[in-house]
């Protein structure tokens, strides 16, 4: 860790970012709160995983009063973790300087990528409430925890340390940061804090998350997996994924090396063999021998265009991180009471020359009631395990879901839209090189290849899900049939009897006959239901085999356990009682 | 005089069959004549579309039991109406049904969410009993059929037995309008009536009367108001049968008018196969606009807009009709079929009002042309 931090670089960009905070997640008060929580939680998770610690994170959001600005509240946000902590010097850099990151430019599936996030939050706190961030930190080496205030010196892009003191803290190592910001609290929907927190726990099964939002009670979501995700080694970008500008910028990360050496070191799938192949495409040997500092724009152009013409091996898919079907299966049940679900973890693959892994969990929530049927499903999007909460329309994941015909799996779906119903569709795209549509990292670029890969995952999940939906339809069908027999049989027979002036005897006999007739149909429906139950049970068995768990918990009554035990009437037993009841009412009718 | 259907007996029969099947645990199946074009026959001697032997069946099962019990429930209401001679509109029946359900908790499952649901049941009953809605005393709004004549006298016997005599020449500018079930009326001519013209446009019928058409000629003039209602169809049939006067239809030259308006008036429709005998006037002739009139009178006409959904649909239907509609296929109706063919080939249309362009300063020009056409047998 310490070594990594030595590599933290900084550039004089504080002024630029402080004037353009809307670009990095502060374009509205609602978004400001979400961004603040998100940056701090992402960092905590990254730090824990890097240090091999099972993360325990707590989040407190408290309203202090009205803000000076219209339409905003003064809000305190505090995020604590049990990660490795930071030295005080590093705290100052991380929270007080822009572009100070240990992850910069590396092809890893980490949440943070740029070193902008948390310093921007400090700036926002400073701009709206004239105070930076209060940090408590303790590394394993430090004897006591240290508390301090860090502010951004915007002019010089320097962190400023204030009020440093040692404090008692309840943990051997960790970091806590507290901001007071102007913001607005939204709990549900796009930009909802709870949506973010639930989503984060969904794709991080190894996370124990505690939170207290406003006056609500503490909520604890305990980890469902004791395994840290295996963070694959970093991968270098593939030359075919880059634009010329990126290509040139990439050259600055490797010091004063020769162009040839830079190409081999800085990219995946470039070997001496490949370098030799560049000559026929017009790259002179001496360019490869030049130092990257001495190379001109024309040189870069020359090499770049030659590289695009050379056939290169596709990048390795070893660098992507998987949540796994088992963990997803467990995790999906943390988001609420679930009837049934399906999970799909695709094999890592290459889309647009970048390694990608798509995973999905689709679950039906049991507590949404009738109304849930008409609402659009909640689509939860994740890029490198970070929930994406804005601008869903143009996102690759949204497009992929819309392109699937969900009706074949038993869901309602308006034309070219997301399906309807009380479902959660969670999609996780993990890749060391995720391409976002914009700087605020809310929309994954919808390339054809990526959309197709996600679409395949959705189709698999839909097929698995449909087994359970079919079974429910059959249950409902049988129920409808039974109800119809009981409700309408007597009315029909009584009506006929009145019209032909038939007596009691005929009525009884006709009712008996009707019960027999319709009972036979109900019996058929029962048989169909039995078959559907078998299918769905088989699907569940497969799920159990694969993931080791079944969708059930005490209060949710999930999956196959639900309704199976319902009494199945034999056709002979069907009776049309309730026929006597209309008598009194019939008198009234004569009125 | 046409026979009245005995709804009461038919209903008892139907329910009796239902009950008997049920008592024997046999699945009841209700059968009704299939009222579609592919089950329509046309015999030029009969003159209107009659049903073939195809049937539609509704069997009682868990899915249809709701519809059937609703039908029996509404049927009881209708039978009660027939008993006392009361009538209702569909909307009123909807509310009466809701009222019954409100006062009887056991009927709750039958409840109708909206009028469409109860309308559907009324139509279903009529199909099963093979009768018209009017036969179960359920009336729609009367539409069209406003009639003018200086010679016509109508004798009406009311349900309670009282009689009325209506002399149309005494009504001033007001027309006589027949009800949806005009079969009980008796017609008489004070003086020999020479002809009857049914004008497609209500407004144009009015214009002709205002300019003195019915004063100058011993005739009957009536407005159809688009697709003829049961009232217009039954009424024209009465005029044709009881007074024995030649009837002419005067309307637009287009595919829609030929198929939906004129064919229905003359030979009934596929949808009403079982009742066409009382609701068609096979002797009606098509007076115009005829294709040759366009040249003869230099009438302004129009190209059929192929991108207009309803116009192109009518043309497509016309092609089907020439192949499948027994009315147009019969050689007795070659004249009208030829007009359809002409329309398909030339894709032109011309409106009845175009005759007003022949001499714009002479308001009597259309009248003159109509009489001219009748006199010269210029019709099909
Ligand atoms: N809670 C924490 N515990 C330990 N180390 C941390 C913590 N928060 C941040 N760091 C360190 O500080 C660095 C900078 O974090 P910062 O959020 O500024 O950038 P980032 O996470 O790399 O990128 P991004 O701008 O995309 O968030 C991280 O790379 C990490 O090494
Ligand atoms: Mg970060």
Is B15 close to A485, i.e. CB distance below 8 A?
Answer: no
Residues 6+ apart with CB under 8 A from B265: B198, B224, B228, B232, B233, B236, B249, B280, B281, B284
Is B106 close to A585, i.e. CB distance below 8 A?
Answer: yes
**A112 CA to middle of ligand 2, Å?**
4
**How much is the pLDDT for A487?**
84
Q: Whose CA is nearest to atom 18 of ligand 1?
A: A115
Provide the sign of the torsion angle of the four alpha carbons A539, A543, A548, A549, taken in this order. Answer: negative
Q: Are A348 and A393 in contact (CB under 8 A)?
A: no
Residues 6+ apart with CB under 8 A from A314: A238, A269, A350, A353
Q: Are A253 and A338 in contact (CB under 8 A)?
A: no
From CA A577, how far away is CA A486, in angstroms rounded?
8
All residues of chain A having their beta carbon less than 8 Å from the beta carbon of residue B24 are: 513
Q: What string of DSSP letters covers A49-104?
A: HHHT---EEEEEEEEEEE-SSTT-EEEEEEEEE-S----HHHHHHHHHSTT--SST
B145 domain residue, yes or no: no
B215 domain residue, yes or no: yes
Interface with A, mutate which of B29, B30, B62, B121 (most A CBs under 10 A)? B62
Q: Does residue B286 share a domain with residue B370?
A: yes
Is the model's pLDDT at A369 over the cut of 80?
Answer: no
Q: Which is more confident, A403 or A568?
A: A403
> Which chain B residue has its CA at the smallest distance from A490's CA?
B69
Give the mutation target among A115, A132, A175 for probing the ligand 1 site: most ligand atoms within 8 A of CB. A115
- The range of the structural domain enclosing residue B275 comes to 193-375
Domain termination site, one of B136, B151, B173 = B136
B345 domain residue, yes or no: yes
Lowest model confidence (mean pLDDT) among A138-147, A444-453, B44-53, B136-145: B136-145
Compute the nearest-CA separation of B12 from chain A (Å): 5
**How much is the pLDDT for A103?**
56
What's the whole-number mean pLDDT along residues A519-541?
77
**A115 CA to middle of ligand 2, Å?**
6
Compute the nearest-CA separation of A374 from chain B (Å): 19
Q: Are B288 and B379 in contact (CB under 8 A)?
A: yes
B181 domain residue, yes or no: no
Q: Are A291 and A258 in contact (CB under 8 A)?
A: yes
Is A589 close to B103, i.e. CB distance below 8 A?
Answer: yes
Lowest model confidence (mean pLDDT) among A11-20, A110-119, B215-224, B317-326: A11-20
> Is A400 at the interface with chain B, CB within 8 A?
no
B151 domain residue, yes or no: no
**A221 CA to middle of ligand 1, Å?**
24
B127 domain residue, yes or no: yes
> Which chain A residue has its CA at the smallest distance from B27's CA?
A517
User: Does A94 sit in the ligand 1 pocket, CB within 6 Å?
Assistant: yes
- A573 pLDDT band (50/70/90 cuts)? very low
Give the mutation target among A118, A174, A207, A441 for probing the ligand 1 site: most ligand atoms within 8 A of CB. A118
Describe the strand order of the beta sheet including B147-149 as a list of residue ranges.
B147-149, B219-223, B195-199, B247-250, B285-288
From CA B11, how far away is CA B128, in angstroms rounded?
9
Is B65 close to A485, i.e. CB distance below 8 A?
Answer: yes
> Is A512 at the interface with chain B, CB within 8 A?
yes
Q: Report the candidate in B178, B68, B77, B97 with the shortest Cα–Cα distance to residue B137.
A: B77
CATH number of domain containing B77: 1.10.10
- B261 pLDDT band (50/70/90 cuts)? very high
**How much is the pLDDT for A491?**
92
**A90 CA to middle of ligand 2, Å?**
14
Q: Which is more confident, A274 or A572?
A: A274
Lowest model confidence (mean pLDDT) among A519-523, B212-216, B249-253, B307-311: A519-523
Q: What string of DSSP letters covers B171-205?
A: STTPPB---S-GGG-EEEESS---EEEEES-HHHH
What is chain A's mean pLDDT, rounded? 81
Lowest model confidence (mean pLDDT) among A138-147, A352-361, B12-21, B146-155: A352-361
Q: Whose CA is nearest to atom 8 of ligand 1?
A: A43
- A580 pLDDT band (50/70/90 cuts)? very low
Q: Whose CA is nearest to atom 28 of ligand 1?
A: A101
> Is B103 at the interface with chain A, CB within 8 A?
yes
> Is A495 at the interface with chain B, CB within 8 A?
yes
**How much is the pLDDT for A550?**
53
**A188 CA to middle of ligand 2, Å?**
24
Is the model's pLDDT at B306 over the cut of 90?
Answer: no
Is B104 close to A585, i.e. CB distance below 8 A?
Answer: yes
> Which chain A residue has its CA at the smallest distance from B23's CA?
A510
From CA A113, how far away is CA A117, in angstroms rounded?
9
Is the model's pLDDT at A8 over the cut of 50?
Answer: no
Q: Are A177 and A79 in contact (CB under 8 A)?
A: yes
Q: Report the candidate in A480, A379, A479 with the shortest Cα–Cα distance to residue A428.
A: A379
Instruction: Compute the CA torsion angle A296, A297, A301, A304 (nearest 10 deg).
Output: 70
> Is B64 at the interface with chain A, CB within 8 A?
no
What's the whole-number mean pLDDT along residues A345-372?
84
- B350 pLDDT band (50/70/90 cuts)? very high
**B314 CA to middle of ligand 1, Å?**
71
Q: Does residue B221 share a domain with residue B325?
A: yes
Question: Which ligand 1 atom is the nearest neighbour of the CA of A90?
Answer: 12
Domain ranges for chain A, please list them: 13-221, 239-309, 332-466, 474-590
> Is B18 at the interface with chain A, CB within 8 A?
yes
Q: What percent of chain A has pLDDT over 90?
A: 35
- A591 pLDDT band (50/70/90 cuts)? very low
When divided into structural domains, chain B yields a total of: 2
- A517 pLDDT band (50/70/90 cuts)? confident
Lowest model confidence (mean pLDDT) among A33-37, A344-348, A516-520: A516-520
**A238 CA to middle of ligand 2, Å?**
24
User: Does A324 sit in the ligand 1 pocket, CB within 6 Å?
Assistant: no
What's the whole-number mean pLDDT along residues A111-138?
87
> Is A516 at the interface with chain B, CB within 8 A?
yes
**How much is the pLDDT for B111?**
93
**How much is the pLDDT for A99?**
67
Q: Which is more confident, A344 or A478?
A: A344
From CA B60, how far away is CA A496, in angstroms rounded?
14
- Predicted structure pTM score: 0.58
What is chain B's mean pLDDT, rounded? 91
**Segment of A88-102, A228-242, A387-401 carrying the highest mean pLDDT:** A387-401
- What is the distance of C-alpha B298 from the center of its chain? 33
Q: Which is more confident, A233 or A33?
A: A33
The class level of CATH for A13-221 reads alpha beta
What residue has token string 């001033």? B172
Residue A219 β-bridge partners: A211
| CATH architecture assigned to A239-309 | Orthogonal Bundle (1.10)
Q: What string of DSSP letters covers B213-254?
A: HHHHSSEEEEE--SSPPHHHHHHHHHIIIII---EEEE--BS
Is B104 close to A506, i.e. CB distance below 8 A?
Answer: no
Domain termination site, one of B117, B136, B155 = B136
User: Does A115 sit in the ligand 1 pocket, CB within 6 Å?
Assistant: yes
User: Does A511 sit in the ligand 1 pocket, CB within 6 Å?
Assistant: no
Encode pLDDT of B209-220 as tens digits: 999 999 999 999
Is the model's pLDDT at A9 over the cut of 60?
Answer: no
User: Does A86 sit in the ligand 1 pocket, CB within 6 Å?
Assistant: yes
Encode pLDDT of B229-239 as tens digits: 989 999 999 99
**How much is the pLDDT for A83?**
96
- Is A332-466 assigned to CATH 3.30.230.10? yes
B201 domain residue, yes or no: yes
Compute the nearest-CA separation of A570 from chain B (Å): 16
For A581, other C-beta atoms within 10 Å of its C-beta total: 12
Q: Report the candidate in A119, A168, A126 with the shortest Cα–Cα distance to residue A143.
A: A168
- A91 pLDDT band (50/70/90 cuts)? very high
Q: Report the candidate in B212, B89, B100 with the shortest Cα–Cα distance to residue B150.
A: B212
What's the whole-number mean pLDDT along residues B9-37?
91
> Which chain B residue has its CA at the smallest distance from A587's CA?
B104
- A410 pLDDT band (50/70/90 cuts)? confident
Q: Are A322 and A432 in contact (CB under 8 A)?
A: no
> Is B116 at the interface with chain A, CB within 8 A?
no
**A379 CA to middle of ligand 2, Å?**
24
- Give me the residues near ligand 2 (ion), CB cutoff below 5 Å: A 43, 112, 117
Q: Report the candidate in B287, B300, B291 with the shortest Cα–Cα distance to residue B376.
A: B287
Q: Whose CA is nearest to atom 10 of ligand 1?
A: A43
Is the model's pLDDT at A1 over the cut of 80?
Answer: no
All residues of chain A having their beta carbon less than 8 Å from the beta carbon of residue B73 are: 491, 495
- A105 pLDDT band (50/70/90 cuts)? low
**How much is the pLDDT for A549?**
56
User: Does A49 sit in the ligand 1 pocket, CB within 6 Å?
Assistant: no
Lowest model confidence (mean pLDDT) among A12-21, A40-49, B342-351: A12-21
Q: Does residue B231 share a domain with residue B356?
A: yes
- A477 pLDDT band (50/70/90 cuts)? confident
- B268 pLDDT band (50/70/90 cuts)? very high
Q: Are A91 and A137 in contact (CB under 8 A)?
A: yes
What's the whole-number mean pLDDT along residues B125-144?
86
- A566 pLDDT band (50/70/90 cuts)? very low
Lowest model confidence (mean pLDDT) among A183-187, A192-196, A444-448, B182-186: B182-186
């Amino acid at each position: 860790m310490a070594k990594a931090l030595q590599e933290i670089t900084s550039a004089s960009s504080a002024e630029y970012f402080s004037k353009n905070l809307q670009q990095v997640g502060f374009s509205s008060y609602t978004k400001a709160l979400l961004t603040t929580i998100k940056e701090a939680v992402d960092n905590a998770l990254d730090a824990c995983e890097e240090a091999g610690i099972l993360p325990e994170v707590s989040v407190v959001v408290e309203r202090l009063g009205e803000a000076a600005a219209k339409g905003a509240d003064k809000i305190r946000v505090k995020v604590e973790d049990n990660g490795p902590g930071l030295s005080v010097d590093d705290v100052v850099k991380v929270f007080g300087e822009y572009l100070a990151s240990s992850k910069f430019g590396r092809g890893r599936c980490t949440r943070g990528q740029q070193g902008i996030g948390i310093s921007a939050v400090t700036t926002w706190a400073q701009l709206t409430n004239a105070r930076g961030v209060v940090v408590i930190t303790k590394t394993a080496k430090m004897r006591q925890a240290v508390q301090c205030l860090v502010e951004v010196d915007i002019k010089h892009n320097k962190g400023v340390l204030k009020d440093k003191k040692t404090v008692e803290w309840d943990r051997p190592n960790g970091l806590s940061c507290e901001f007071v910001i102007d913001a607005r609290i939204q709990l549900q929907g796009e930009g909802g804090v709870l949506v973010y927190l639930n989503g984060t726990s969904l794709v991080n099964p190894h996370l124990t998350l505690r939170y207290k939002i406003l006056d609500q009670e503490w909520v604890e979501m305990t980890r469902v997996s004791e395994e840290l995700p295996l963070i694959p080694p970093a991968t270098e970008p593939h030359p075919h994924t880059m634009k010329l500008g990126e290509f040139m910028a990439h050259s600055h990360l490797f010091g004063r090396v020769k162009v040839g050496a830079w190409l081999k070191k800085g990219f995946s799938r470039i070997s001496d063999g490949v370098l030799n192949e560049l000559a026929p495409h017009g790259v002179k040997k001496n360019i490869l021998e030049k130092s990257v500092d001495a190379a001109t724009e024309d040189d870069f152009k020359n090499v770049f265009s030659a590289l695009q013409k050379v056939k290169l091996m596709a990048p390795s898919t070893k660098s992507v991180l998987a949540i796994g079907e088992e963990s997803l299966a467990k995790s999906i049940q943390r988001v609420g009471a679930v009837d049934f679900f399906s999970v799909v973890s695709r094999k890592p693959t290459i889309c647009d020359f970048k390694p990608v892994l798509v995973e999905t969990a689709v679950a039906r929530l049991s507590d949404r009631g009738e109304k849930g049927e008409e609402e659009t499903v909640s689509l939860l999007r994740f890029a490198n395990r970070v929930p994406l909460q804005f601008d869903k329309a143009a996102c690759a994941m949204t497009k992929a879901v819309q392109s699937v015909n969900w009706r074949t799996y038993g869901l309602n779906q308006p034309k070219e839209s997301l399906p309807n119903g009380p479902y959660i569709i969670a999609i996780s795209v993990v890749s060391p090189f995720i391409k976002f549509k914009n700087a605020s990292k809310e929309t994954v670029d919808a390339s054809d290849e990526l959309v197709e890969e996600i679409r395949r995952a959705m189709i698999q999940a839909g097929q698995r899900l449909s087994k359970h939906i079919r079974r429910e339809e059959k249950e409902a069908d049988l129920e409808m049939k039974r109800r119809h027999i009981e409700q309408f049989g007597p009315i029909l027979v009584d009506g006929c009897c009145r019209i032909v002036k038939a007596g009691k005897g005929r009525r009884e006999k006709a009712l008996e006959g009707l019960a027999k007739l319709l009972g036979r149909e109900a019996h058929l429906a029962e048989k169909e239901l039995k078959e559907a139950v078998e299918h769905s049970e088989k699907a569940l068995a497969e799920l159990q085999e694969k993931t080791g768990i079944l969708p059930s918990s005490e209060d949710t009554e999930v999956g196959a356990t639900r309704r199976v035990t319902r009494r199945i009437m034999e056709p002979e037993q069907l009776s049309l009682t309730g026929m006597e009841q209309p008598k009194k009412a019939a008198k009234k009718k004569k009125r | 005089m046409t026979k009245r259907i005995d709804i009461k007996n038919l209903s008892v029969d139907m329910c009796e069959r239902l009950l008997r099947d049920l008592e024997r645990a046999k699945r009841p199946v209700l059968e009704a004549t299939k009222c579609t074009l592919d089950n329509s026959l046309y015999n030029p001697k009969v003159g209107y579309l009659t049903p073939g032997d195809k049937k539609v069946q509704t069997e009682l099962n868990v899915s249809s039991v709701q519809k059937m019990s609703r039908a029996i429930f509404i049927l009881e209401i209708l039978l009660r109406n027939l008993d006392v001679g009361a009538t209702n509109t569909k909307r009123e029946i909807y509310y009466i049904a809701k009222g019954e359900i409100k006062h009887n908790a056991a009927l709750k499952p039958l409840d109708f969410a909206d009028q469409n649901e109860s309308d559907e049941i009324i139509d279903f009953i009529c199909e099963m009993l093979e009768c018209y809605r009017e036969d179960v005393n359920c009336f729609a709004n009367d539409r069209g059929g406003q009639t003018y004549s200086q010679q016509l006298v109508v004798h009406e016997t009311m349900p309670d037995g009282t009689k009325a005599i209506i002399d149309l020449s005494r009504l001033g500018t007001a027309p006589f309008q027949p009800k949806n079930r005009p079969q009980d009326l008796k017609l008489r001519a004070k003086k020999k009536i020479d002809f009857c013209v049914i004008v497609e446009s209500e407004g144009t019928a009015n214009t002709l009367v205002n300019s003195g058409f019915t004063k100058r000629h011993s005739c009957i003039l009536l407005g159809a108001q688009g697709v003829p209602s049961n009232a217009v169809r039954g009424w024209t049939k009465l005029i044709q049968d009881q007074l024995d006067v030649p009837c002419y239809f005067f309307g637009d030259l287009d595919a829609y008018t030929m198929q939906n308006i004129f064919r229905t008036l003359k030979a009934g429709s596929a949808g009403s196969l079982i009742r066409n005998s009382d609701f068609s006037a096979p002797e009606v002739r098509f007076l115009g606009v005829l294709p040759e009139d366009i040249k003869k009178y230099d009438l302004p006409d129009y190209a059929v807009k192929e991108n207009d959904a309803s116009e192109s649909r009518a043309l497509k239907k016309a092609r089907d009709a020439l192949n499948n509609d027994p009315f147009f296929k019969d050689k007795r109706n070659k004249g009208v079929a030829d007009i359809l063919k002409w329309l398909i080939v030339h894709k032109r249309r011309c409106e009845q009002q175009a005759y007003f362009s022949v001499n714009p300063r002479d308001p009597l020009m259309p009248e003159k042309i109509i009489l001219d056409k009748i006199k010269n047998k210029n019709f099909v």
